[in-house]
């Protein structure tokens, strides 16, 4: 007698690895940001259902203020805003040193954008377990102070530019936090680089890269196709974001198969964030990998992103 295992849900915590700790609601067909046109500060939004992307710039502002296409003089790329098009991203140089000056960098200071998070009681309300992340501003200040007391970066004092992501903020628009953070780090206070452990939407990566700002995005899952365009601008070192969505999907199938979860006649349900990047991973990675281990029936379900995902 054949036994049929129950439906197995591979919760594409593709999204929940890293993304679970925060970003704004984005169910989107077109993100309504503060300019009301669904783009980030004039740059086309990638993430969710955007069909086009803003390319990283090819013109890099050199230390002297002159520009040389595709080259960096005296330090890391500082780029003019891109208007899009099929162009190659610039190569990034070493951290600024000596007499280098440029966007976000003087001979004495270097500005670094840092995202903070304010959670209130939201995690406790959802899980029933009180969670307190403490004062993230004080935590970041302590690290900055330590770095500065030990020589700074390339002999320069680190000047933090903070963006506070407030999960308790009422009426927060879809994609609004990514837009605000990009504006703050590029328009209001031009930074040399950004450290983002909070915002998960790829729109922030695209916006910052379009302005020549590299970032550590440890809470931002990224797929291989996006990474191909923005490889010089996306860095991550822990959590699910340290793996691309493609690699994570393939690894999940392999591990679940080794655990014997699929069995005979298994029907596998895949719940994923309903946007092109995740759908592509489902179609081009999950389904083929499942077929390799004998799964014949796959039921994918695209779900909108919630206020906290």
The enclosing domain of 47 has a CATH number of 3.40.50
Distance CA 232, CA 153 (A): 20
Contacts (Cβ under 8 Å, ≥6 apart) of 27? 174, 274, 304, 305
pLDDT tens, 212-233? 999 999 878 889 998 889 989 9
* Mean pLDDT confidence for 245-256: 94
Say if residue 15 is exposed, middle or buried (CB neighbours under 10 Å; 0-12, 13-18, 19+): buried
pLDDT band at residue 94 using 50, 70 and 90 as cut-offs: low
Is there a single domain that holds both residue 181 and residue 277?
no
pLDDT band at residue 121 using 50, 70 and 90 as cut-offs: confident
* Mean pLDDT confidence for 80-89: 39
- In this predicted structure, the answer to whether residue 54 has a pLDDT above a threshold of 60 is no
Is there a single domain that holds both residue 201 and residue 151?
yes
Percent of the chain with pLDDT over 70: 64
In a domain, 2, yes or no: no
* Mean pLDDT confidence for 18-33: 35
- List beta partners, residue 114: 162, 195
> What is the pLDDT, as a whole number, of residue 55?
57
Q: Which helix (H) or strand (E) holds 118?
A: strand 109-118
- pTM for this entry: 0.66
CA distances 82 to 8, 40, 198, Å, are: 44, 12, 25
Is there a single domain that holds both residue 127 and residue 263?
no
Is there a single domain that holds both residue 204 and residue 70?
yes
Q: Tokens 């995740």, residue?
A: 278
Pairing of strands 267-273, 157-166: unpaired
- In this predicted structure, the answer to whether residue 142 has a pLDDT above a threshold of 60 is yes
Is there a single domain that holds both residue 173 and residue 270?
no
Q: Which of 241, 260, 280 is the last residue of a domain?
A: 241
pLDDT band at residue 45 using 50, 70 and 90 as cut-offs: very low
Rounded to the nearest integer, the mean pLDDT of the chain is 73
In a domain, 3, yes or no: no
pLDDT band at residue 122 using 50, 70 and 90 as cut-offs: confident
Say if residue 225 is exposed, middle or buried (CB neighbours under 10 Å; 0-12, 13-18, 19+): middle
Is there a single domain that holds both residue 237 and residue 256?
no
- In this predicted structure, the answer to whether residue 304 has a pLDDT above a threshold of 60 is yes
Contacts (Cβ under 8 Å, ≥6 apart) of 163? 113, 114, 115, 116, 177, 180, 181, 184, 185
- In this predicted structure, the answer to whether residue 31 has a pLDDT above a threshold of 70 is no
Is there a single domain that holds both residue 252 and residue 236?
no
Q: Which of 224, 241, 258 is the last residue of a domain?
A: 241
In a domain, 96, yes or no: yes
> What is the pLDDT, as a whole number, of residue 207?
94
Q: Which residue has the higher pLDDT, 177 or 17?
A: 177
pLDDT band at residue 125 using 50, 70 and 90 as cut-offs: confident
* Mean pLDDT confidence for 126-144: 88
Distance CA 130, CA 148 (A): 34
Q: Estimate the crossing angle of helix 176-183 against helix 202-210, to 10 degrees.
A: 20
In a domain, 132, yes or no: yes
Is there a single domain that holds both residue 79 and residue 204?
yes
Range of the domain at 270: 8-18+244-303
In a domain, 103, yes or no: yes
Which of the residue ranges 70-74, 146-150, 255-259 would you say has the lowest mean pLDDT? 70-74
- In this predicted structure, the answer to whether residue 32 has a pLDDT above a threshold of 50 is no
In a domain, 309, yes or no: no
Q: Which helix (H) or strand (E) holds 18?
A: helix 16-19
- In this predicted structure, the answer to whether residue 84 has a pLDDT above a threshold of 50 is no
> What is the pLDDT, as a whole number, of residue 299?
96
In a domain, 25, yes or no: yes
Is there a single domain that holds both residue 213 and residue 268?
no
Q: Which of 193, 222, 241 is the last residue of a domain?
A: 241
* Domain count along the chain: 2
Is there a single domain that holds both residue 184 and residue 279?
no
- In this predicted structure, the answer to whether residue 297 has a pLDDT above a threshold of 60 is yes
> What is the pLDDT, as a whole number, of residue 237?
65
In a domain, 1, yes or no: no
> What is the pLDDT, as a whole number, of residue 239?
60
Is there a single domain that holds both residue 155 and residue 249?
no
Is there a single domain that holds both residue 13 and residue 30?
no
């Amino acid at each position: 007698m054949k036994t049929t295992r129950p439906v197995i849900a591979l919760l594409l915590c593709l999204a929940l690895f890293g993304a679970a700790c925060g970003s704004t609601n984005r169910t989107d067909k077109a993100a309504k940001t503060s300019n009301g046109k669904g783009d980030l500060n004039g740059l086309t939004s990638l993430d969710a259902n955007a069909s086009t992307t803003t390319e990283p710039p090819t013109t890099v502002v050199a230390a002297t203020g002159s520009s040389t296409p595709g080259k960096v003089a005296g330090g890391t790329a500082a780029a003019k805003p891109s208007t899009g098009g099929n162009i190659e991203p610039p190569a990034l140089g070493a951290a600024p040193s000596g007499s280098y000056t440029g966007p976000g960098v003087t001979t004495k200071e270097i500005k670094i954008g840092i995202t903070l998070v304010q959670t209130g009681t939201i995690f406790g309300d959802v899980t029933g377990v009180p969670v307190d992340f403490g004062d993230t501003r004080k935590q970041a200040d302590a690290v900055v102070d330590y770095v500065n007391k030990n020589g700074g970066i390339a002999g320069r004092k680190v000047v933090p530019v903070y963006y506070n992501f407030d999960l308790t903020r009422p009426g927060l628009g879809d994609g609004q936090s990514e837009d605000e953070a990009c504006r703050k780090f590029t328009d209001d206070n031009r930074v040399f680089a950004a450290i983002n452990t909070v915002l998960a939407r790829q729109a922030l990566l695209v916006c910052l890269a379009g302005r020549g700002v590299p970032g550590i995005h440890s809470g931002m899952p990224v797929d291989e196709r996006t990474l191909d365009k923005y490889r010089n601008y996306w860095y991550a070192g822990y959590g699910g974001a340290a793996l691309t969505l493609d690699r994570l999907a393939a690894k999940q199938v392999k591990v679940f198969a080794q655990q014997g979860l699929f069995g005979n006649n298994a029907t596998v349900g895949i719940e994923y964030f309903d946007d092109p990047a995740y759908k592509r991973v489902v179609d081009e990675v999950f389904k083929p990998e499942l077929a390799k281990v004998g799964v014949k029936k796959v039921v994918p379900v695209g779900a909108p992103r919630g206020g906290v995902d």
